[in-house]
Structure 1
Amino acid sequence: MQAKSILLTGGALLAATSGALASGFQVGLTGAKNVGMGGTGTGLYLDQASQFFNPGAFAFAPTGFQVGGNMAIPRISFRPGDADSGQRTLQNTNVFPFSGFVGFGPKEGKWRLGAGVYTPFGSELHYQQGWEGRYALTDINLRSVFGQVTAAYAITPQFSIGAGVTTLLYGDVDLQRDIPVQAQGSTSPAHAQLTGKADHKVGYNLGVMFKPSEKLSVGLSYRSAVDAHVSGGDIALTGIPASAAGSFTAKSFDVTLPLPDVYSFGIGVRPNDKLTLAFDANLVGWSRYQSLDFTYSGGVLGGNASSSSKRQYQDALAFRVGAQYKVTDGFSLRAGTFYDMACVRDGFVTPETPDADRIGFTAGIGYEFAQRFGIDASFLFEDFMKRSQSQDDLISNGTTDRVAGTYKTTIAVPGVQLYVKF
């Protein structure tokens, strides 16, 4: 048995902490106003979430505090290569990403200082017992929290710059899969469980904004790549037969995953005092992720002291459009749509990331009272295209450590946010 098939899903935690806005493992859920407008934000300065989308735009944002949360409701199904065998539906579990930001500075001043925390992604999936891909993955549970401190300065009333330092504050993973060996007299195969915590890693977020007029704003931002690392992750094995015990003695693992950088461009247009239109484009540098490599401590796993699993991701584009309309001074309506291109190539799809081109639709409302306090609500629906790969594809690509078949995914995400302006 190849050791690479035992831990091939281990990098999902790391990728989940990247904070990218397109493809791969991410659902962009930072800022309810932004979510309601299709995930746009690079060319806007709606609120404190500008620290995430474009630190340069933060120089023009109002000061204040905001906190919000979402409930991500995924639905993923799998149909094996033999269509006559029927569809497998996951025991999907809801997860609850959140974000919070605070910003300070003189009301009419040129500078802003801020801080925030956010969860770029969290996931919990449980595949049906005995499913065809059980030797690649049976269960996955991911959690991650990022922090950011930000400073922005308006060099002129039309041009501003900003920078943020980002830190992976917390990340952990629980991954499980069956092993195709079985003890004598047992009715179930052996089982592997991997648990680990990600090391704290630091990156940065840069942005600029240009406002040629009060009706037009243009923004650029860059979020740096990060090499995430899990060191000393635990390996727990059960049901290993005595005859194979000598090949499964590893107790821990180390793995490093190169996470992508993100380039973003955005435009904000305000035809009048009531209407705001926005467009964003994101380029995510997933091509850094070509393989998932493990080293094992305390022995060997599957007869090997290290393993490698092909990924060969490609850079991915995303396009977003959104709008906000102020019905009254205190009440706003929002809507948007987006299209994200897959970073996973044909024949390289894995159970922990059944990635595909996807289209999304969003909506939102906002209510502000006393010109200081407010609440925003958002809703996002994301529909992934069907993604299929055959056994011949896997053999041709050398990716037989995963399973042939067709994946179909949808995600629904309601969210709410409270804020106060200083």
Structure 2
Amino acid sequence: MKKTLSLVAILAAGTSQAAGFQVDTHSARATGAGGAATAWLEDSSSIYYNVANMVGVKKLDITLGDTGILPSITFQRPNMEAEGQRTTLSPPPHLFVVYKPFEKAAFGVGVFTPYGARSRWEEGFSGRFRGYESSLATYYINPSFAYELHPRFRFGAGLDIARATIELTRGLDFVNSEGSVHLGGADWGSGFNIGVQAKLLDNLDMGLHYRSAIDIAFQGQADFQNIPVEFQSRLTDQKAHADVVLPSTVTAGLAYRPLNNLLLAFDASWVDWSTFSELAIRFENPSIDNPLPKRWRAKWKYSLGGEYGVTDALQVRLGFTYDPSPSPNNTLTPDLPDANRFKVSVGAGYQFKPFRADLGYQFVALADKESTAPGMPGTYSGNAHVLGLTLGFNLQ
């Protein structure tokens, strides 16, 4: 089995909005409904949620927005005080454009960040030799096409072009002194996404969307600082590399309209985190490599949401999500803290044609997760506040 994720895994540091280091809030409208949008969302942000639904755009649709993710995570070792991370705001932006020149065909492009996180533990953190400060960002450019094969069936496909960047600072323990290593790197990768949407009944729709895994071969530089003389011949500034697989996802959804102004939706999403078998940085000097087992597991995420039209212009939304951690307890360490996530979302949208504005808020509760990892046992917990704003323009 291919060993994957290495350098990126260190950088995610568990402060992403979703489990692992996934970010799934790329439309404030969808965020307000708990992310359950695969079967029904028909504006240009459907490029992320289900590319087949681009055909629902009338002529031209543009969405532009940002999501502020403010996480708080703590780690408590047995019989010790809890330690936390410094407040760090992550603002992944999103931009989608769809143009429909023909009655049954639509073209579009999206720019978004489906994976990423920032982390910075407090000064003197006891786990600083596993991970102290980190940043990961993946930028996807997603040109797409969708076609209505039948009034009740749509199909869409797109190309994922990914640019990933990383930064990491980690402490080094020399018993009588401390040093540090800073790592940075970047690379490109590519994949694809496909989706279908079907009208099962007049008031019941089904959606299915797949986004492929993407291989990233990071090439970076390791900068060692405050290294004692006796180690300087070994710990010199040098190149470092790592192979990474950003996981594939499959999402199935249903959308039911019991009333003309009421939508109820459910999504089940499978994320293949099983490609993350170990955490390993490969240095130019192989004698300092120190791979660590991770053995993450593929997981299902479940979302339930609704949208109610108070008036033709005003909509309100509510959603709930269960997003389990892919990490086993015996490999859970501070370089990648994680926990099962329970999310509650609310949102509202207002249309003043041809413009619209959507606001979505999500509270993320990280359930206590006990680590039994050798040398770093303890309990991880925390929460996150997520606030998304998306502005839209629609030309009929």
TM bin, normalised by shorter chain, reads over 0.9
2:341 is equivalent to residue 358 of structure 1 = yes
**What CA deviation, in whole Å up to 9, does each residue of 1:351-375 have, x standing for no partner?**
24322211100011000013x2110
- Give the SS at the match of 2:48: helix
**Conserved in 2, the CA contact under 8 Å of 1:14 and 1:228?**
no
Q: Deviations over 1:151-206 (max 9, x none)?
A: 0000010001100101113x2221111111167xxxx5111111111x11111011
Q: Does 1:118 align with 2:112?
A: yes
2:293 is aligned with 1:310: yes
Contact 1:250 1:296 in 2 (8 A): no
Q: Which residue does the alignment assign to 1:72?
A: 69
CA positional deviation for 1:350: 2.8
Count of aligned positions: 388
Please list the CA deviations of residues 59-110 of structure 1 after superposition, one character each: whole Å capped at 9, or x if unmatched.
2244311101111110111112x32x21112112111111110001147x11
The reply to whether residue 48 of structure 1 matches residue 10 of structure 2 is no
Return the offset for 1:288.
Answer: 1.5
**Using the alignment, how far apart are the partners of 1:21 and 1:415 within structure 2?**
12
**Residue 345 of structure 1, CA deviation:** 0.7
The residue correspondences of 1:216-255 to structure 2 (distance < 5 A) are: 216-231=204-219, 233-249=220-236, 251-255=238-242
Structure 1 equivalent of residue 161 of structure 2 = 167
For structure 1, list consecutive stretches of 5 or more residues without a partner in the other structure: 1-7
Kindly provide the CA deviation profile for residues 339-397 of structure 1, in whole angstroms up to 9, marking residues without a partner as x. Answer: 01111011111324322211100011000013x2110011011111111123xxx34xx
Shift in alpha-carbon separation, 1:21–1:181, aligned structure 2, 3 A: closer
Q: Which residue does 1:376 correspond to in 2?
A: 358
Secondary structure of the structure 2 residue equivalent to 1:86: coil
Separation of aligned partners in 2, 1:27 and 1:142: 11
Quote the Cα distance in structure 2 between the aligned partners of 1:138 and 1:60: 46
Letter in 2 for 1:26: Q
Does the residue aligned with 2:43 lie in a helix, a strand or coil?
Answer: coil
Question: Counterparts in 2 of 1:289-304, with a 5 A limit?
Answer: 289-297=276-284, 299-300=285-286, 303-304=287-288
Provide structure 2 residue ranges, at least 5 long, that are not aligned to the other structure: none
Kept in 2, the 8 Å contact 1:21–1:282? The answer is no
Report which of the two has the higher share of strand: 2
Contact in 1 for aligned 2:72/2:384 (Cα 8 Å): yes
What TM-score, normalized to structure 1? 0.87
For residue 231 of structure 2, give the secondary structure of its aligned residue in structure 1: helix
Distance 1:415 1:290 in 2: 33
8 Å contact kept, 1:9–1:352: no
Equivalent in the alignment of 2:85: 90
Contact 1:102–1:115 under 8 Å retained in 2: yes
Q: Which amino acid aligns with 1:179?
A: L
Does residue 135 in structure 1 map to residue 123 in structure 2?
Answer: no
Q: Which residue, 165, 168, 190 being the options, matches 1:202?
A: 190
Q: Do 1:58 and 1:152's aligned partners in 2 also have CA atoms closer than 8 Å? A: yes
Which residue identity lines up with residue 264 of structure 1 in the other structure? T
Distance 1:138 1:294, change over 3 A: closer
Partner of 1:38: 34
Q: Which residue of 2 aligns with 1:415?
A: 388
Distance 2:193 2:69 in 1: 26
**Cα distance change of structure 1 residues 152 and 28 upon mapping to structure 2, 3 Å threshold:** same
| Structure 1 residues 125-150: Cα deviation after superposition (integer angstroms, max 9, x where no partner) | 21122221011011112223111011
- Compute the displacement of 1:23 (Å): 2.3
Q: Offset of 1:22 from its aligned partner?
A: 5.5
Q: Which moved more, 1:288-297 or 1:330-339?
A: 288-297
1:9 deviates by: 6.8
1:17-32 map, 5 Å? 23-32=19-28
Q: Distance in 1 between matches of 2:340 and 2:153?
A: 35
8 A contact 1:366–1:375 mirrored in 2: yes
Q: Is the 8 A contact 2:6 2:243 kept in 1?
A: no
* 8 A contact 1:115–1:150 mirrored in 2: yes
CA distance in structure 2 between the partners assigned to 1:22 and 1:194 by the alignment: 25
The Cα shift of 1:226 comes to: 1.3
Q: 2:313 aligns with which of 323, 327, 330?
A: 330
Residue in structure 2 matched with residue 191 of structure 1 by the alignment: 180
TM-score (norm 2): 0.93
CA distance in 1, matches of 2:106, 2:364: 34
Amino acid at match of 1:389: S
**In structure 2, C-alpha distance between the alignment counterparts of 1:27 and 1:357, rounded to whole Å:** 15
Percent identity of equivalent pairs: 29
Whole-angstrom distance in 2 between the partners of 1:115 and 1:285 = 25
